[in-house]
Protein backbone atom coordinates (compact mmCIF):
# COMPACT_ATOMS: atom_id res chain seq x y z
CA UNK A 1 0.00 0.00 0.00
CA UNK A 2 1.25 3.49 -0.86
CA UNK A 3 0.69 6.04 1.92
CA UNK A 4 1.11 9.82 1.86
CA UNK A 5 2.09 11.12 5.30
CA UNK A 6 1.67 14.87 5.86
CA UNK A 7 3.16 15.78 9.25
CA UNK A 8 5.32 18.77 10.17
CA UNK A 9 6.75 17.51 13.47
CA UNK A 10 10.01 15.76 12.48
CA UNK A 11 10.07 13.29 15.38
CA UNK A 12 6.44 12.32 14.92
CA UNK A 13 6.90 12.06 11.15
CA UNK A 14 9.90 9.76 11.47
CA UNK A 15 8.15 7.55 14.01
CA UNK A 16 5.05 7.25 11.82
CA UNK A 17 7.08 6.66 8.68
CA UNK A 18 9.04 3.87 10.37
CA UNK A 19 5.89 2.23 11.74
CA UNK A 20 4.10 2.35 8.41
CA UNK A 21 7.15 1.03 6.58
CA UNK A 22 7.48 -1.82 9.10
CA UNK A 23 3.86 -2.70 8.29
CA UNK A 24 4.91 -3.13 4.63
CA UNK A 25 3.64 0.23 3.38
CA UNK A 26 5.48 2.50 0.95
CA UNK A 27 5.54 5.96 2.53
CA UNK A 28 6.02 9.42 1.00
CA UNK A 29 6.33 12.32 3.44
CA UNK A 30 5.52 16.03 3.24
CA UNK A 31 6.18 18.40 6.15
CA UNK A 32 4.04 21.24 4.78
CA UNK A 33 0.32 21.46 4.06
CA UNK A 34 0.62 23.06 0.65
CA UNK A 35 3.23 20.56 -0.52
CA UNK A 36 1.20 17.67 0.86
CA UNK A 37 -1.92 18.82 -0.98
CA UNK A 38 -0.01 19.04 -4.26
CA UNK A 39 1.36 15.53 -3.77
CA UNK A 40 -2.16 14.25 -3.04
CA UNK A 41 -3.48 15.92 -6.21
CA UNK A 42 -0.82 14.18 -8.27
CA UNK A 43 -2.42 10.92 -7.13
CA UNK A 44 -1.24 7.36 -6.81
CA UNK A 45 -1.81 7.05 -3.04
CA UNK A 46 -3.99 4.46 -1.37
CA UNK A 47 -4.35 6.31 1.95
CA UNK A 48 -3.45 9.82 3.17
CA UNK A 49 -2.45 10.30 6.83
CA UNK A 50 -2.79 14.00 7.52
CA UNK A 51 -1.97 16.12 10.55
CA UNK A 52 -4.55 18.82 11.25
CA UNK A 53 -2.24 21.67 12.26
CA UNK A 54 0.24 22.28 9.43
CA UNK A 55 2.32 25.13 7.99
CA UNK A 56 0.88 27.03 4.99
CA UNK A 57 -2.43 25.14 4.94
CA UNK A 58 -4.44 23.37 7.62
CA UNK A 59 -5.42 19.72 7.32
CA UNK A 60 -9.19 20.30 7.34
CA UNK A 61 -8.89 22.83 4.52
CA UNK A 62 -6.76 20.40 2.54
CA UNK A 63 -9.34 17.61 2.85
CA UNK A 64 -12.18 19.92 1.86
CA UNK A 65 -10.32 21.14 -1.22
CA UNK A 66 -9.25 17.64 -2.24
CA UNK A 67 -12.85 16.44 -2.09
CA UNK A 68 -13.96 19.50 -4.01
CA UNK A 69 -11.55 18.56 -6.79
CA UNK A 70 -12.77 14.98 -6.93
CA UNK A 71 -9.90 13.29 -5.05
CA UNK A 72 -11.43 10.24 -3.33
CA UNK A 73 -8.32 8.85 -1.61
CA UNK A 74 -9.21 7.83 1.98
CA UNK A 75 -7.94 10.36 4.54
CA UNK A 76 -7.11 9.84 8.21
CA UNK A 77 -6.70 13.10 10.16
CA UNK A 78 -4.40 13.14 13.20
CA UNK A 79 -4.83 15.89 15.77
CA UNK A 80 -4.47 16.89 19.40
CA UNK A 81 -7.75 18.74 18.79
CA UNK A 82 -10.09 15.80 19.17
CA UNK A 83 -13.17 16.91 21.06
CA UNK A 84 -16.53 16.16 19.44
CA UNK A 85 -16.80 19.48 17.56
CA UNK A 86 -13.32 19.14 16.04
CA UNK A 87 -13.93 15.52 15.03
CA UNK A 88 -17.25 16.41 13.40
CA UNK A 89 -15.66 19.33 11.58
CA UNK A 90 -12.93 17.09 10.14
CA UNK A 91 -15.34 14.36 9.09
CA UNK A 92 -17.76 16.84 7.55
CA UNK A 93 -14.91 18.30 5.54
CA UNK A 94 -14.52 14.90 3.89
CA UNK A 95 -12.10 12.94 6.07
CA UNK A 96 -12.83 9.23 6.37
CA UNK A 97 -11.46 8.90 9.90
CA UNK A 98 -10.14 11.08 12.73
CA UNK A 99 -7.63 9.94 15.35
CA UNK A 100 -6.81 11.99 18.43
CA UNK A 101 -3.28 12.43 19.75
CA UNK A 102 -1.77 10.73 21.62
CA UNK A 103 -2.57 7.41 20.00
CA UNK A 104 -1.08 3.93 19.89
CA UNK A 105 0.85 2.81 16.82
CA UNK A 106 -1.22 -0.39 16.67
CA UNK A 107 -4.46 1.59 16.48
CA UNK A 108 -3.11 3.89 13.76
CA UNK A 109 -1.98 0.94 11.65
CA UNK A 110 -5.34 -0.77 12.14
CA UNK A 111 -7.19 2.35 11.02
CA UNK A 112 -4.97 2.75 7.95
CA UNK A 113 -5.66 -0.87 6.97
CA UNK A 114 -9.40 -0.36 7.51
CA UNK A 115 -9.38 2.67 5.20
CA UNK A 116 -7.55 0.66 2.56
CA UNK A 117 -10.06 -2.18 2.74
CA UNK A 118 -12.96 0.26 2.40
CA UNK A 119 -11.42 2.23 -0.46
CA UNK A 120 -14.00 1.24 -3.06
CA UNK A 121 -16.81 3.20 -1.43
CA UNK A 122 -16.19 6.08 -3.85
CA UNK A 123 -16.05 9.85 -3.37
CA UNK A 124 -18.86 12.13 -2.33
CA UNK A 125 -19.52 14.26 -5.41
CA UNK A 126 -22.88 15.84 -4.56
CA UNK A 127 -24.30 17.62 -1.52
CA UNK A 128 -28.03 18.11 -0.92
CA UNK A 129 -29.82 20.22 1.68
CA UNK A 130 -33.53 20.63 1.15
CA UNK A 131 -34.01 21.70 -2.46
CA UNK A 132 -30.40 22.90 -2.66
CA UNK A 133 -28.07 20.68 -4.70
CA UNK A 134 -24.31 21.15 -5.16
CA UNK A 135 -22.27 19.20 -7.71
CA UNK A 136 -18.69 19.24 -6.45
CA UNK A 137 -17.21 18.02 -9.73
CA UNK A 138 -19.14 20.27 -12.11
CA UNK A 139 -18.91 23.14 -9.56
CA UNK A 140 -22.59 23.95 -10.01
CA UNK A 141 -25.40 24.75 -7.58
CA UNK A 142 -29.14 24.46 -8.13
CA UNK A 143 -32.14 25.13 -5.96
CA UNK A 144 -35.39 23.45 -6.94
CA UNK A 145 -33.81 22.80 -10.33
CA UNK A 146 -32.84 26.45 -10.94
CA UNK A 147 -29.14 27.02 -11.53
CA UNK A 148 -27.55 29.59 -9.23
CA UNK A 149 -24.58 31.70 -10.30
CA UNK A 150 -22.05 31.73 -7.44
CA UNK A 151 -18.62 33.28 -7.27
CA UNK A 152 -15.76 30.94 -6.18
CA UNK A 153 -15.72 32.19 -2.57
CA UNK A 154 -19.51 31.97 -2.36
CA UNK A 155 -19.32 28.39 -3.61
CA UNK A 156 -16.72 27.52 -0.99
CA UNK A 157 -18.79 29.19 1.74
CA UNK A 158 -21.94 27.33 0.71
CA UNK A 159 -20.07 24.03 0.49
CA UNK A 160 -18.86 24.43 4.07
CA UNK A 161 -22.36 25.31 5.27
CA UNK A 162 -23.85 22.33 3.42
CA UNK A 163 -21.29 19.93 4.87
CA UNK A 164 -22.28 21.24 8.31
CA UNK A 165 -26.03 21.46 7.62
CA UNK A 166 -28.17 21.61 10.74
CA UNK A 167 -25.25 22.78 12.88
CA UNK A 168 -24.39 26.30 13.97
CA UNK A 169 -21.19 27.41 12.26
CA UNK A 170 -19.28 30.14 14.09
CA UNK A 171 -17.52 33.08 12.47
CA UNK A 172 -14.20 31.65 13.65
CA UNK A 173 -14.95 28.37 11.86
CA UNK A 174 -15.79 30.24 8.67
CA UNK A 175 -12.64 32.36 8.81
CA UNK A 176 -10.46 29.27 9.29
CA UNK A 177 -12.15 26.92 6.85
CA UNK A 178 -13.43 29.20 4.08
CA UNK A 179 -10.86 32.01 4.11
CA UNK A 180 -7.93 30.11 5.67
CA UNK A 181 -7.55 32.92 8.22
CA UNK A 182 -6.34 31.94 11.68
CA UNK A 183 -6.82 35.44 13.05
CA UNK A 184 -9.67 37.94 13.05
CA UNK A 185 -9.07 40.37 10.14
CA UNK A 186 -11.44 42.88 11.77
CA UNK A 187 -13.47 43.31 8.58
CA UNK A 188 -17.06 42.58 7.55
CA UNK A 189 -15.98 40.04 4.91
CA UNK A 190 -18.20 37.31 6.37
CA UNK A 191 -21.27 39.55 6.60
CA UNK A 192 -20.84 40.66 2.98
CA UNK A 193 -20.52 37.13 1.63
CA UNK A 194 -23.35 35.76 3.77
CA UNK A 195 -25.60 38.57 2.50
CA UNK A 196 -24.68 37.85 -1.12
CA UNK A 197 -25.12 34.12 -0.68
CA UNK A 198 -28.47 34.56 1.05
CA UNK A 199 -29.72 36.74 -1.80
CA UNK A 200 -28.89 33.98 -4.27
CA UNK A 201 -30.06 30.85 -2.46
CA UNK A 202 -33.07 32.23 -0.55
CA UNK A 203 -34.45 35.45 -2.02
CA UNK A 204 -36.51 33.97 -4.86
CA UNK A 205 -37.71 30.92 -2.95
CA UNK A 206 -40.45 30.35 -0.40
CA UNK A 207 -38.42 28.62 2.31
CA UNK A 208 -35.43 30.24 4.03
CA UNK A 209 -32.47 27.89 4.31
CA UNK A 210 -29.70 30.14 5.64
CA UNK A 211 -30.33 31.42 9.17
CA UNK A 212 -28.44 33.77 11.45
CA UNK A 213 -27.99 32.40 14.97
CA UNK A 214 -27.63 35.55 17.05
CA UNK A 215 -24.44 35.69 19.04
CA UNK A 216 -23.23 32.41 17.60
CA UNK A 217 -22.99 32.31 13.80
CA UNK A 218 -25.00 30.78 10.96
CA UNK A 219 -26.92 27.60 10.25
CA UNK A 220 -28.11 26.03 6.99
CA UNK A 221 -31.30 24.00 7.38
CA UNK A 222 -33.14 21.91 4.80
What domains are there in the chain, each with its CATH number? 2-121 (3.40.50.2300), 126-220 (1.10.10.10)
**Enclosing H/E stretch for 159:** helix 152-163
pLDDT at residue 109, as a whole number = 93
pLDDT tens column, 33-87: 999 999 999 878 999 999 999 999 999 999 999 988 888 899 999 998 878 888 8
Question: Is pLDDT at 5 greater than 90 in this prediction?
Answer: yes
Q: Do the strands 217-220 and 210-213 form a parallel or antiparallel pair, or are they unpaired? A: antiparallel
C-alpha–C-alpha distance, residues 37 and 199, integer Å = 33
How many C-beta atoms surround the C-beta of residue 161 within 10 A?
Answer: 24
C-alpha–C-alpha distance, residues 189 and 187, integer Å = 6
Question: Is pLDDT at 120 greater than 60 in this prediction?
Answer: no
The burial class, CB within 10 Å (0-12 / 13-18 / 19+), for 46 is middle
Amino acid sequence: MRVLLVEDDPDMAESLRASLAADSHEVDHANDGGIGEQMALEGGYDVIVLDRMLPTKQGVAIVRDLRGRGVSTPVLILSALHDEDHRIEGLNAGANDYLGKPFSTRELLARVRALWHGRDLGPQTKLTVGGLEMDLLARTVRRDGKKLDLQPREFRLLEYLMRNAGQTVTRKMLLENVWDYHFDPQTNVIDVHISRLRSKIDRDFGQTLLHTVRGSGYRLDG
